Amino acid sequence: LLLTTPYYNKASSEGIIRHFAYVAEHSELPLIVYNVPGRTGVSCTPEHYARLAEILRINGVKEASGDISLVSRTRHLCGDALNIWSGNDDQTLPMLALGAKGVISVASNILPLELHELCRLWFEGRHGECERLYYELLPLMTALFAESNPIPVKAAMAHLGFCSGEVRLPLTAAKPETVAELVTSLKPLLGSSD
């Protein structure tokens, strides 16, 4: 299960820990904490993660706070007791360098093999090749967050013929400039001329 931090009520530190502990205690499935304060208004701290790492069913964290320092401090406190995955495509390389296990990715909806390759290259110690691929993918990773997710990824998938691109309210269709940025960033990756 992928679980966000509790939102709206802005729980205390103890409330955040107890929330995840309660779900873990009442589930038979492994849990991944999803720290995305830009959407929930609440962020986990390295100290939260140190306590959560002690809970058997908590497998790790999808870290999407954008705070690389938080990831560094978490790795320092938790070591290998807590798996960390990048929750932001554009931070995958720096997070791999800090010990992340990979990425739970938006861009992989469009280019799954390339995101797999990015991580594989890192884990094989081919860091230069990984870095080159990362910088090739970076314009797309950036374009995919020009508007609220999933608006851009739906627009990109529609451009590629995989879906209609429709989103439900309160989301609205991608702006023309977002679509243009997506198309431009996709061209060199797909080798297409359109």
Q: Which residues are catalytic?
A: 34, 62
Tell me the backbone φ, ψ of residue 150, rounded to 5 degrees.
Answer: -100, 20
DSSP-derived secondary structure letter, 125? T
Distance CA 162, CA 150 (A): 14
Distance CA 46, CA 123 (A): 24
Residue pair 90/68 in contact (Cβ under 8 Å)? The answer is: no
